[in-house]
Structure formats: structure tokens, C-alpha cells
Amino acid sequence: MAIEYLKKATLTAKSDASEVHETVKNILNDISEGGDAKAMEYAAKFDRYDGNVLLTQDEIDAAIALVPEKLKADIRFAHDNVKRFAETQKSTLSEVEMEIEPGFVAGQKAIPVDAAGCYVPGGRYSHIASAIMTVTTAKVAGCRHITACSPPRPGVGIAPAIVYAAHICGADKIMAMGGVQGVASMTYGLFGLPKANILVGPGNQFVAEAKRILFGRVGIDMIAGPTDSLILADETADAHIVATDLVSQAEHGYNSPVWLVTDDHALAERVMQIVPQLIDDLPELNRENAFAAWRDYAEVILCTDREEMAACSDDYAPEHLTVQAEDLDWWLDRLTCYGSLFLGEETTVSYGDKATGTNHVLPTSGAASYTGGLSVHKYMKIVTWQRSTREASKNVAVATARISRLEGMEGHARAADVRLAKYFPDENFDLTAEE
């Protein structure tokens, strides 16, 4: 039996792809040529903020003083979890070496990038958690310099809680600048900052496009689209919890897809009844986002059995994947394409978004089929090295010369020839490519 759509999306993330490329490209070119002054021009236009670009210690202290102690404690709790998880991830990355031939050794080193630029959204919502997720992992990786960049609000500046989070997580500089101009400033090394080697963090379509255009000149975590979430649920699932989790992710934005995949028709119908009621109960801005996302982008898919459900999920390769079904170990072993996996109703995407320690900067728009999310590893360069005695290099040199000549790369072959001639002058080697 083929899967059945009880609710089918009328739009996809690509349907809403705005024509932002030229706008972003022109802004980047202007700032590349005009430097600090041009970046400030765009900041005045888009951020409508005329305060310091780089926060002074006094400004940081003043912002921190505005953060309630209870919120500080919550931020420290989340930071500690993210830090410990990142440290555990880093411990899996070993510097190794092996003997290719007796006396010929090759190895691997993990070297952190020098400067990281962490973009923290601060427009529609103040993404405190994004400061924690991006700055903490860069710090644990060992980046020498970390800039946290967040859009200021007119007459106010960066949200104090974002300043506090960036500060305790280890940001060396906190930049009050948003959008393309903020991304460009970190990339080009404006305002006395070192040029970023990598840009990380979520952002709107203009930020995402700026990162896409700049990729190659600077590393990026990923090219991101609207956030998306999928729930796999069977007859044992609680319809109210399933509906709540769908709505919690739909509030991200009007174009944030949420999908329910189930083998239980009654559950699907019940969830579709509950979701509109939960959306109606949200605050106005959240309600508008969730309503549009559910109306235009959400899908409810009915499958025959759990294997068909798993195959459907892997095909979607969701950013967030929740399983509310029996036999969680089966699902953990079977599922292969997701940014982050949440097993059982006792956990939820919201936990991962804010406080459990796993990162919330994750692949969207199906990118989970080939990549994972932001981690301490994204800031690390895995490089190789080798060292050899003269005797150990003999067989390698002979093979290199022959393979190079077969490929037609005579210069490569001679780099091996000259060493054989110097180290083993009394030996004759067959270095031709032919039999």
C-alpha cells in the first residue's frame, strides 16, 4: 500500500524562495569596498541603531545587570550541558599515527580554526539558546577568537540575555550588528576584528544567502532553510502531546514545515482536530506563524506499518525527528536521516532547542541526508602529516613514480626519481609505467 496524505502541503520551502541573491550580493560588494563606514551605513538603515558596534566591558556589565537571576541560572544550566556535551564530542576526535611501512609514518591532527563568527538572531525572537550553542562549541573546540554578532534593537541594543549568554560562554567580542552587514563585518575583519575562518548560527533568508555567497572565502556550518520537524507516532502515542509538539515547532515561522507520519488513522484525525485549537491559544505573533505554517506547509501522512513510516522519514530527512512509538531501540537502529533524534514523549525538540546539550543548529531542507548539525567538530580541521626514513621511502617512491607516469604526470614521477637517485645511487629501479 502506498502512503496516503491526510493533509498535503500546498507550499514548500522552495516555493517561498525570495529573490534576495542580488540584494545580498550588492550589500556584500559595497561593504567589501567601503569597509567599516559602509557597514555602519547599512546598520543605520536596517538595524536603526547608532550605539557602539563592539560592546565595551561597561556595556556588557550593564546588560548583565538587567538579566534576572533566575534567567541567569537557566542560561548557566544550558551552557553547562552544551559545554559538557561538546567536550565529550571533542574527546572522540583523536590524534593518531600509523606505520605505512617500517619507518614510514603517517598521522592525523585536529587543529581548531583560528577565528569563529557566531551569528545570534535577535529580531523576531531573542535567540538566547543560539548564543549558547554556537559560542560554547567554538570555545570548547579551542578557537583563539570568537565574535558573537546579534542584531540590536533601535534605542536598546542587543537583548541583555543574549549579551549575558555570549559573555559567559566565552565570546571575545560582542558585536551589535545584524543581517548581511554583521555577517560581512565578521568575514572581512572590520572594526578591528580578525577575519573569521568560519561563520556559524541561524538567521533569516538574507543571513543564509550571505553565508552561501561567502562560502569558500570563509567556512560555514551549513546552508540553512526554514526549520522543519517530523514526528513518527503509532497508536500508543498521546495525540495531545503530538499536536503540542507540532505546534511548538510551527511557531518558528510562517514557512516552517511540520510533518506527522503515522500508521494509525484515528491518531492522525485526532491530532488534526487538536492542532488548530492549540494554535488559537498562542500569543498573537506565535499564532500567526503557526497558523500559516500549519495551513500551507504541514503534512499528515498515513503509512501501512513502521517500516514504511521509517522509510518515509528517511526520505524527508528532517532537521528534527521525534519518535513517539513502541520499541524505541528499533527506531534508533533503523532511522538514518535526521539532524537530531528525540526518542519517546519524555523528550521533545524544545529540550534540544534550549537546554539538553545537543546542538540546535541543524541541517534543514533535506540536508540531513548527507550532513549532521553544528558540533565541536565543525570548528576543527582534520589534517594529515607524514615522516619517513630514507629506507622506508623506497617502495613508496617506486610506486609513486610508476603511477604518476601512467597518469601522464611526469613532474610528479621525477619528484620520486630524484629521491631514489640520491638515497640509493647503486640500485637500479624499473620506473616505467609499461609492463
Q: Catalytic amino acids?
A: 319-320
Residue 195 is classified by DSSP as P
Do residues 316 and 259 make contact, with C-beta atoms less than 8 angstroms apart? yes
What distance in Å separates the CA atoms of residue 143 and residue 236, rounded to the nearest whole number? 46
Query: Going along 151-298, which residue ranges are E strands?
Result: 173-176, 198-200, 219-220, 229-233, 258-262
Which has the closest alpha carbon to 333: 310, 351, 356, 349?
310
What distance in Å separates the CA atoms of residue 172 and residue 161, rounded to the nearest whole number? 17
How far CA 36 is from CA of 25, 45, 330, 335, in Å, comes to 17, 14, 55, 48
Element (H, E) at 184: helix 179-188
N residues, the chain? 435
Spatial CB neighbours of 158, under 8 Å, sequence gap ≥ 6: 55, 63, 122, 150, 151, 152, 174, 176
Q: Helices 265-280 & 239-250, crossing angle to 10 degrees?
A: 50
Do residues 138 and 172 make contact, with C-beta atoms less than 8 angstroms apart? no
The distance of Cα 265 from the centroid of its chain, to the nearest Å, equals 35
Element (H, E) at 309: helix 306-316
What distance in Å separates the CA atoms of residue 372 and residue 137, rounded to the nearest whole number? 15
Do residues 105 and 388 make contact, with C-beta atoms less than 8 angstroms apart? yes
Spatial CB neighbours of 124, under 8 Å, sequence gap ≥ 6: 253, 285
Question: Order of strands, edge to edge, in the sheet holding 320-324?
Answer: 4-7, 299-302, 258-262, 229-233, 320-324, 340-343
Do residues 141 and 112 make contact, with C-beta atoms less than 8 angstroms apart? yes
